[in-house]
Structure 1
Amino acid sequence: MERKEGSSMADKDDELDRLEEAEAERLDDEELERAARSERELEEVRDRRQLLDATAETTEAIRLAEADAGVARHRDLADAQRRQARSDRAHGNHLLDEAAAGPDEPGAAATAAAGRRYQRAADREERGAAYDDRVADRYAGGDVPVGREQAPASDAARRPAEPPEARKFIRKTKKREKQTGLRDVGLGD
Structure 2
Amino acid sequence: MTTPPIEDTTTSPSSLELLKLRQSNALLLKANTHLTTRSQLLSNKLLTSHTRIRDLKTLITDLEAEKEDLLALITKMEVEHGMARIEREFEHEMEVERRGREAEARVRGLEEEVRRERETAERKVRRVREFYEGLLVGGIKVERVERKVEGVEGEGEKATGEGVGQGAGEEAGETEGFGIGDGP
TM-score (norm 2): 0.49
Q: Which has the larger radius of gyration?
A: 2
The TM-score normalised by the length of structure 1 is: 0.48
More helix by share: 2
